[in-house]
Structure 1
Amino acid sequence: MFTGQLPFSTHADRPYIALAPMEGLMDHHLRDLLTRVGGIDHCVTEFIRVTQQVYPAKVFRRYCPELLNGGKTPAGTPVHVQLLGSDPELMAANARKAAMLGAPAIDLNFGCPAKTVNKSQGGAVLLQYPDLLARITSAVRAAVPAHIPVSAKMRLGFADKELALDNARALASGGIQWLTVHARTKTEGYKPPAYWDWIARIKETTDIPVIANGEIWTPQQARQCMAESHSDLIMIGRGLVAVPDLALQIKADHGLLSHNAHHWQQHLEMMQALIPCLAHLPEKAQTDRLKQWLHYFSLQSLEIRAVFEKVKRQRSLQDFFNSLAETSADVAANPPNASDYKAYQHQGF
């Protein structure tokens, strides 16, 4: 039985905002940057795929270097370790190891929609088997020390939503302390809309806290999500990468603090702050990663979108930086017109 304290139980002010794990993107460098900006209450690592062994400490620390800092980012934000797999005993043994290494919480991934992950019986594919979900969570909860919370993340289903409530009940029966729900099925992927009203239905059928996730790009969408899901606990992924101060904007919208939204040029400066973190990579990999970050930043900014369109074809780091500086100056002098980017208007332009 869990004997500890939930991370949001001491937060009287809501909404409580968690930073979502994003495989291949949300590494410790980006967690560091975003938690330094502020407004994020906890983070979750990229998933550690559990297949055939109990991993050595170095693997957990590679995914979560914050374990060497008391399980927190340099800004002091707790980082929960996420595991993905289908074998109850192996999941339990790896969860026990992560807890021993200092993970403040263990999260179980039943939401990843990636084909390669689903083919190996991980992530959202397990939403077809409620009994297995219960066995995995029960085994993990029994293996993890009683004072450390165990949570799970799920989608509304695999091909459809028929088992959404059954899956939620199965996970709750396994003893988790809270459930995060991405309000779409695997087949719906990341296409709008997110079905936040289903989260309210899940809350009605379980007796544990539920964190709402999916399609939150603006403070207004956060309010709508909270209203439809009946939850003041939310998790944001792409929205926080696109708008690094989104958590602060949301909390300011609820009167919890004073904050003026960052200018697009401040977002570019944040991206450039990540450059030293890429020094260990080959030049092409550095350039590709910078383009990836710039693409996400462009999703909520017409100006950064205009910059991205100009620099995305650059191949060398030097050409990328030269084009970035030149194009940023041009965009500042000649702001783009929203009508040029109609394809992006559904995301908040």
Structure 2
Amino acid sequence: MQIALAPMEGLVDNILRDVLTRVGGIDWCVTEFIRVSDRLLPAATYRKLAPELFAGAQTRTGTPLRVQLLGSDPACLGDNAAFSCTLGAPVIDLNFGCPAKTVNKSRGGAVLLKEPELLHAIVREVRRSVPPQIPVTAKMRLGFDHKEYALDCARALAEGGAAQLVVHARTKVEGYKPPAHWEWVARVQEAVAVPVFANGEVWTLGDWRRCREVSGVEDIMLGRGLVARPDLARQIAAARAGQAVAEMTWAELQPLLADFWLQARRKLSPRYAPGRLKQWLAMLTRSYPQAVELFGLLRRENDCARLDALLGVEVPEPAPREQLASA
């Protein structure tokens, strides 16, 4: 069984990937989607969205990173996929699941599920463009506004050359509203000859057990459930091995939250860092009562120094210029 960390645009960036993979249980993770339109993207784009590429294509704990591309032009996606491989991408993943309206309006993400022939052409061209040892994978939903083409889309992706499929078990229109239709994951697995990962609405060990029973697949991709419960992958991995692991306590989580904040402080401007902290903390309120209390204290606070105090974090002072000059 493999457990993957989902690519979540605007949330699971390299900072959160680093923090979550340090908890354990995650076999591989994926970048936020890299939007490809009509040109070859520069290395700077990858350095911003996938800095792990320049450190062995893995997080600090050694969890492998896949590069996810989003677009609708087969040739342009092929060129960018090939360039990604020269930067060290070990796997190219293609996004056919993003439900965002702005993305769909520009012919990206889930809207392409209306065109199985185009899905096939994209995967085929990307497969042709990258070295044979580099796998090409894909993430899809069950459709745009209905599930009529779900199996056709899955076959198109697999026959085009996708080595794995991740199936978010809802349509674009269904968004993130429960339930996830795990029974359709089983239908997809029956329709294709490549491994299928189930994705959607797994928040607890009980959800994972029901998902496995209904979908019939062992592999899983965790998104919001793992962000809200950072040890969920570790819990699932242990349960799969017939072992029991104590749930992560709030005290154990606090150092990770503090490190997340310090990394956000270094990477983002003071204008944006507080919002990123609140975004993750709001997700944690689902699992930790203490997060509810902390979120209430800082939800209206945007001053980084005061947030440091609320989190009990000491931000290292920058070295004096004369020290930097002599270093």
- Report if TM-score (shorter chain) is over 0.5: yes
Segments of 5+ residues of structure 2 without an aligned counterpart are: 313-327
Q: Distance between the aligned counterparts of 1:192 and 1:28, measured in 2?
A: 28
Equivalent residues in 2 for 1:293-332 (5 A)? 293-323=280-310
Write the distance in 2 (CA, Å) between the matches of 1:236 and 1:117.
22
Question: 1:177-192 counterparts in 2 under 5 A?
Answer: 177-192=163-178
In structure 1, the partner of 2:277 is: 290
Contact 1:243 1:267 in 2 (8 A): no
Q: Partner amino acid for 1:192?
A: P
Looking at structure 2, the residues matched to 48 and 256 of structure 1 have their Cα atoms a distance apart, in angstroms, of 38
Structure 1 spans left out of the alignment, 5+ residues:
1-13, 326-349
**Contact kept? 1:137, 1:174, Cα under 8 Å:** yes
**AA in 1 matched with 2:224:** R
- TM-score, length-scaled by structure 1: 0.86
Residues 255, 284 of structure 1: CA spacing in aligned structure 2 closer, same or farther, 3 A cutoff?
same
Secondary structure at the aligned position of 1:36 is classed as helix
Q: Name the structure 1 match of 2:318.
A: none
What SS does structure 1 have at the residue aligned with 2:165?
A: strand
Write the letter of the residue equivalent to 2:17: R
Kindly report which structure 2 residues correspond to 1:77-88, keeping only aligned pairs within 5 A, or say none.
Answer: 77-88=63-74
Query: Kindly tell me: are residues 280 and 140 of structure 1, through their superposed partners in 2, closer, same or farther at Cα, counting changes over 3 Å?
Result: closer
Which SS does the other structure have where 1:284 is aligned?
Answer: coil
Deviation, structure 1 residue 198: 0.3
Q: Quick one: which of 154, 162, 181 aligns to 1:176?
A: 162
Identity %: 52
CA displacement, residues 26-85 of structure 1 (integer Å, 9 cap, x when unaligned): 111111111111110000100000001111222222211111222111111110000000
Q: State the partner residue of 2:261.
A: 275
1:117 paired residue number: 103
Find the aligned partners of 1:139 and 1:51 in 2 and give their Cα distance: 15
Shift of 1:257: 5.0
> Contact 1:194/1:214 (CA < 8 Å) preserved in 2?
yes
Per-residue deviation, 1:280: 4.1
- Alignment equivalent of 2:132, drawn from 146, 156, 164: 146
**What whole-Å deviation, never above 9, does each CA across 1:152-179 have from its counterpart, x for those lacking one?**
0000000111111111111111011011
Mapped partners of 2:59, 2:173: distance in 1: 34
In terms of mean alpha carbon deviation, does 316-325 or 143-152 score higher?
316-325
Give the secondary structure class of the aligned counterpart of 2:10: coil
Where do residues 16-95 of structure 1 align in structure 2 (5 Å cutoff)?
16-95=2-81
Distance of 1:296 and 1:212 partners within structure 2: 21
Change over 3 Å in CA distance of 1:93–1:112 after alignment to 2: same
**314-323 or 49-58: which moved more?**
314-323
Aligned in 2, Cα 1:176/1:280: closer, same or farther, shift over 3 Å?
A: closer
Q: Using the TM superposition, give the Cα deviation of residue 324 of structure 1 relative to its aligned residue in structure 2, in angstroms.
A: 5.2
**How far does residue 323 in structure 1 lie from its aligned partner after superposition?**
4.6
Instruction: State the 1:256 CA deviation.
Output: 5.4
Number of the residue aligned with 2:317: none
**TM-score, normalised via structure 2 length:** 0.91
How far is 1:283 from its partner?
2.2
CA distance in 2, matches of 1:275, 1:257: 32
Deviations 1:301-344 (A, max 9, x none): 2331233233212232233344556xxxxxxxxxxxxxxxxxxx
Q: RMSD of the alignment, in Å?
A: 1.5
Q: Name the residue aligned to 1:212.
A: 198
Q: Give the letter for the 2:137 counterpart.
A: S
What's 1:3 paired with? none
In the TM superposition, residue 285 of structure 1 has moved relative to its aligned partner by: 1.4
